[in-house]
Structure 1
Amino acid sequence: MSARKINIGLIGFGNVGAGMIKILRDKKAMLREKTGMEIVLKKVCDKDISSKRGVSLDKSLLTANVSDILDDPQIDIVVELIGGINPAREFVTEALKKGKNVVTANKALLAHHGTDIFALAQDRGKSVYFEASVGAGIPIIKSLREGLVANNFAGVFGIVNGTTNFVLSRMSAENCGFLEALKEAQKRGFAEKDPTLDIEGMDSAHKLVILTYLCFGRMARIGEVYVEGISRVSLQDINYAKELGFEIKLLAIAKKEGDALEVRVHPTLISSGHLLASVNGVFNAIFVSSDLAGELLFYGPGAGQFSAASAVVSDLVDLAQDMKAGLFRPTLNITPDAEVKRLRSIDEIESRYYIRVTADDKPGVLAKISGVFAKFGISIESVTQKPARGGQAVPIVMVVHDALEKKLRSALAVIDKLDVIKEKSVAIRIEEI
């Protein structure tokens, strides 16, 4: 019996797109044997169809006109790999309207417009698959949607950006500053020429919106996510944190606290003994706490041509099998967590904090600082004063017990105005996972 053919059109012939094509070619026989389907690349669209990508294509497959894909009734699945919000949004929307299923790796698009895109797919009886949007080849999307479908989740904690994790890992391991570590990341191809989206946490926030939707059935608006990047993390704080038994990671966090859901991205101190603390370099990891399966860690390369392309091909195979069986699995079949009534603002969160103040080395300084904390009801857990050097101001490192974010920030604002304080204070949240 001949295999059924599924025709796909690729929009975006970049690194991941080229990887997908290589996999479909190199693994053609295996995929056909496993699925009984033949996935056929019918058309490839890109603004640049002349540059070499390390994979040869018949010129008849290449086009710079996206209509050659969207208007072709023989194309069953559109693979969108151009990234960004526009024109990707228009292409995905048009594909769904014209009766095509969609596979995308576009986390920014889904974070900003996922609700509308999923609703349109539901209305048209089509599917949107997006495994490569979070963690590249780590099968976190499929695991949350299918493998853990019977679970309720308490929280998800992720290191989901390879650039920032490489920079922080490099600073910690090589005892170098932020800019030096970032330059090394760029030199190795782990960071963009303009790394702002990664360094300031927005890429992680996009991925967190998707994870929050899958775990809690709530599609948070990107503006509802608290986002803080790593550009102000100093080597000094990384080393002091290590002395206290912590590592600093850029963590994407979604967790339930009572009837509220916290959704935030920021530098975080986590215990050196936790599995996430040992995730280094460009690797990603997602730690999930669930009621039935317990605590799970998903780990692997968070970027890379074949890692991401592997996830895209996985989606293609799932869709092809659905089409073969005549099945439709709605994208919006995520059940909202009934316990979650609202999103909690950053001012409402409570946690322990690492605090570093830089002050004059003279009697009474600690009394002034602790007095301010006492007025705001903040209890100090530990204090370490570093040695002074030649009359310079001294760093004072503190850990405070659980405190309300709003009160902590108010207390630091008062402390920073004291005449004995020489630099703006540093506060980094400590997460108990």
Structure 2
Amino acid sequence: MNKKIINLGIVGFGTVGMGVVKILQHSPAMFTEKTGLRPIIRKIVDIDKKRHRDVRIPAWILSKNVQDVLDDSEINVVIELTGNESAARKILLDALSRKKNVITANKSALAKYWDEIFAAARKNGVEVYYESAVCAGLPIIQVLQQGLAANRISRIFGIVNGTTNYILTRMDRDDYSFKDALVEAQKKGFAESNPTLDINGYDSLHKIVILSSLAFGKRVKIEDVYVEGIDKIEVSDIKNGAELGYVLKLLAIAKEEVNKEIEVRVHPTFLPKGHVLSSVEEEYNAVYIVGDLTGPIVLYGRGAGQMSAASAVIGDLIYLGRRFVSGMSGRVDNIWEEKHSDLKIKGINEIRAEYYLRFSVVDSPGVLAKISNILGMNDISIAQVIQKSRFSGSVVPVVMMTHEAVEKNVQRALKLIDHLDIVKAKTVLIRVIGVRS
């Protein structure tokens, strides 16, 4: 193999794959200047060879058969961009077993099969890179692995899904319903035709599993993380929160408390309007990290898009190329000791938070007293109350913001409250990040 060449096989030739090819075609000199290597695309694999693409490549480079990449002994880097979890897992493991380095954008495969993938890399003396799997152009993986390596990380708060942030922005700023905001996001290309993984929070879940594992130095299991999406959010709740001084975001949260307890969760969250993440709008992403030495830092930018994601892939490729040249490639970082147990994650019922509660009640004397009494019996104190219109006998919304309370106490209280005759619908609960969080 020519030591001045890096031979590439690309599997998946959709939006990001085309972006990668564009960069390599338009800026090969840049790559060579930064690595000393000339990048050669030997094969591109995609199911649909006939689809129109806005890049020109020789017909012989395109294939429908992934074995054309895996069986080519000259290819030393496989760039996996399929977007399919099970296919990605197989491609990654097969490539690693053939001693090929891999770069992947598949967050779900990494979150679920991390141990298996990195064990294969160590066994075969090759490497795995995945900057584009989390927030695309935001270099969050490098920041955690290198820039903040000297720090103990206590907080990660992330707006890591552009689809949901765009939807919530439209609901907040323009009074769109959830459905209308989703349709607009799809028309503008910010949401998939099937947006389930985004709106149900699972895309954010996969990302925070990866980030929290890196931050805390132990494996976070995906099944231990609470996840809740935005599909039940109503404009009225966003407006009520704004009146109280808060902005609603789908937040990915990872926290390590002084007592070493770990929280990792994804759910809609009210942030104080003064919080740095509260101004992140539309399809933008941002990650707020607190290190014991650096204090808080923020990464902000487009978390999706062709060139943003492709930039992250090429960044990984440049870093890997430099390791080839320096003779360092194949030395896989042991991010956490395998002898260590997985992290024990605090269950959602055990967390402490402030809460936004919206009750749908009959407007009659004594309603607030009954609700307040049940909350008090469960060690929940009220910080603020909003009661809008008052028409005798009608159903009205009553909004309460609580002081910090234990989730299981709140859930127990709501179960009792929702069984009262005066309550006509299930109470809406949204967790709140307080000023001191």
Query: Shorter-chain TM-score category?
Result: over 0.9
Per-residue Cα deviation, 1:378-415 (whole angstroms, up to 9, x for no partner): 11111121122575211111111111111100100100
Q: Aligned partner of 2:279: which letter?
A: S
Other-structure match for 2:310: 309
Q: Aligned partner of 2:302: which letter?
A: P
Aligned ranges 1:10-409 → 2 under 5 Å:
10-257=10-257, 258-328=259-329, 329-334=331-336, 342-389=344-391, 391-409=393-411
On the 8 A contact 2:20/2:311 being kept in 1, the answer is yes
Q: Aligned partner of 2:313: which letter?
A: V
* Number of residue pairs the alignment of both structures matches: 431
Per-residue Cα deviation, 1:107-155 (whole angstroms, up to 9, x for no partner): 0100110111011111211110000000111111111111111111001
CA–CA distance in structure 2, aligned partners of residues 332 and 118 of structure 1: 9
Q: Kindly tell me: are residues 390 and 179 of structure 1, through their superposed partners in 2, closer, same or farther at Cα, counting changes over 3 Å?
A: farther
Q: Aligned partner of 1:185: which letter?
A: A
On the 8 A contact 1:259/1:341 being kept in 2, the answer is no
Q: TM-score, normalised by structure 2?
A: 0.96
CA–CA distance in structure 2, aligned partners of residues 340 and 66 of structure 1: 34
SS across alignment from 2:358:
strand
On the 8 A contact 2:138/2:301 being kept in 1, the answer is yes
Q: TM-score, normalised by structure 1?
A: 0.97
On the 8 A contact 1:205/1:227 being kept in 2, the answer is yes
Residue 3 of structure 1, CA deviation: 8.0
CA–CA distance in structure 1, aligned partners of residues 84 and 157 of structure 2: 24
Per-residue Cα deviation, 1:314-344 (whole angstroms, up to 9, x for no partner): 00111111011110341433469x9996210
Q: Aligned partner of 1:87: which letter?
A: A
CA–CA distance in structure 2, aligned partners of residues 33 and 106 of structure 1: 28
Q: Compute the RMSD of aligned alpha carbons.
A: 1.6
Per-residue Cα deviation, 1:329-367 (whole angstroms, up to 9, x for no partner): 41433469x999621000100011011101111110001
Structure 2: stretches of 5+ with no match in the other structure: none
Q: Kindly tell me: are residues 156 and 335 of structure 1, through their superposed partners in 2, closer, same or farther at Cα, counting changes over 3 Å?
A: farther
Residue 79 of structure 1, CA deviation: 0.4
CA–CA distance in structure 2, aligned partners of residues 65 and 186 of structure 1: 31
Structure 1: stretches of 5+ with no match in the other structure: none
SS across alignment from 1:186:
helix
On the 8 A contact 2:219/2:336 being kept in 1, the answer is no
CA–CA distance in structure 1, aligned partners of residues 341 and 95 of structure 2: 36
CA–CA distance in structure 2, aligned partners of residues 345 and 27 of structure 1: 48
Per-residue Cα deviation, 1:40-85 (whole angstroms, up to 9, x for no partner): 1111011111111100110111111111110111001000000122
Indicate the percent of aligned positions where both proteins have the same amino acid: 47
